[in-house]
Amino acid sequence: METVSKIKKACEEIGFMVITSHGVPEPVIANAWKSVGEFFDLDESSKSQLSNMSADYPYGYEKGEVLAAGKDKEKGKALSTAPDIKETFTIGPHNPASGMPSPIMPSEPPAFASHYSAYYSAMEDLSSTLLSSFALALELPVDWFESKTSHHLSALRSLNYPDQSGMTPEPGQLRAGAHTDYGSLTILKSGGPGLQVAKDVDGEPSWVSVPHVPDGFVINLGDLMRRWTNDRWSSTLHRVVNPPRDGKNHRRQSIAFFHNINGDEVVTTIPSCMDDGGSKYEPIVAKDFLMMKHLASVKGVIEEKEEL
């Protein structure tokens, strides 16, 4: 099967795929990977100086997180209420035309800012390549997404899942609770197994492990893409499970690029995805959709800070 047909099938059936031969230079990945590891090795007090998340700057350092999206979508019941066993560091776009403030970077390790920015820009390029294939898979002109992503709101988040020796997760507590991503597409580099996606079996999630391909990227679709395609494409629940308790060190790191489109783009069902009944969704401004999802997922975090 040719690549575009494979992408179309994956987007329709599961919303997840693993790619290799992606063209991202190895040193860009290796440098960012190393700087991220060194950053997470710093003392809690240095890292928490970067806990500057607010409604105007939805980025920075966070420890643990209760993903409000970690709910059974149909039944609305929470799958887990305990915070994720992880810490994260996130930046947004560098481009002022995106409407976001410039990224606030750690000063340690010294190379972090340049390595992280280089990785961000490599992910922008890879997203454009993927979106060209997505356009073809959706029977659109190859450059259809270009004008909609020229001043995009994509975010780069690194994640550290500490080793769990000496701690006991609460019942239902995971490295990352079940959630869907909320933008257009995610490009994930991870340092080991643990990621699972839900296949829907008679309304109940049945968890399937995503193969860990060391030099590959996992690509998955987010809620905005699902809405844009009138649900023709899937944004699938996924989670990161706890490691085996075998006395080995199972620290796990990953870097996720959450591609988002331009904030001022009005998301109206893609013409080729209209079905007989027209569109299931009203048009929505992308930034409003993303902020709604973001605020719902970090509600507790921002409210707590604003009370201080």
- Nearest CA to 259 among 70, 65, 126, 104? 126
Q: Which tokens hold the place of 295?
A: 């605020």
User: Order of strands, edge to edge, in the sheet holding 195-201?
Assistant: 176-179, 238-240, 195-201, 204-209
195 or 225: whose CB is closer to ligand AKG?
Answer: 195
Task: Give residues with Cβ within 8 angstroms of 157, minimum separation 6.
Answer: 88, 89, 90, 255, 256, 257, 258
Determine the Cα–Cα distance for residues 227 and 267; give it in Å rounded to an integer: 8
Number of residues that bind ligand AKG (CB under 6 A): 10
Determine the Cα–Cα distance for residues 115 and 108; give it in Å rounded to an integer: 12
**Shortest CB 161 distance to ligand AKG, Å:** 7
87 or 181: whose CB is closer to Fe ion?
Answer: 181
Among 185, 240, 270, 301, binds ligand AKG (CB under 6 A): 240
138-177: contacts with ligand AKG (CB under 6 A): 159, 176
Near ligand AKG by CB under 6 A, which window of 73-81, 117-125, 127-135, 188-196? 188-196
**Shortest CB 256 distance to ligand AKG, Å:** 5
Is 87 near ligand AKG (CB under 6 A)? no
151 or 157: whose CB is closer to ligand AKG?
Answer: 157
Near Fe ion by CB under 5 A, which window of 69-77, 127-135, 174-182, 257-265? 174-182
**Shortest CB 186 distance to ligand AKG, Å:** 6
Neighbours of 69 (CB within 10 A): 18
Among 8, 115, 232, 238, binds ligand AKG (CB under 6 A): 238
Is 181 near Fe ion (CB under 5 A)? yes
Give the residues across from 253 on adjacent strands: 160
Is 181 near ligand AKG (CB under 6 A)? yes
Q: Which tokens hold the place of 241?
A: 């499970």
Q: Pick one of Fe ion, ligand AKG, none as the site partner of residue 240 (Cβ within 5 to 8 A by kind).
A: ligand AKG
- Nearest CA to 160 among 17, 61, 259? 61
Q: Is the peptide bond before 109 cis (omega within 30 degrees of 0)?
A: yes
Phi, psi torsion values for 189, nearest 5 degrees: -115, 125
Residue nearest to Fe ion (CB): 181
289-308: contacts with Fe ion (CB under 5 A): none
Residues that bind ligand AKG (CB under 6 A): 159, 176, 181, 188, 190, 195, 238, 240, 254, 256
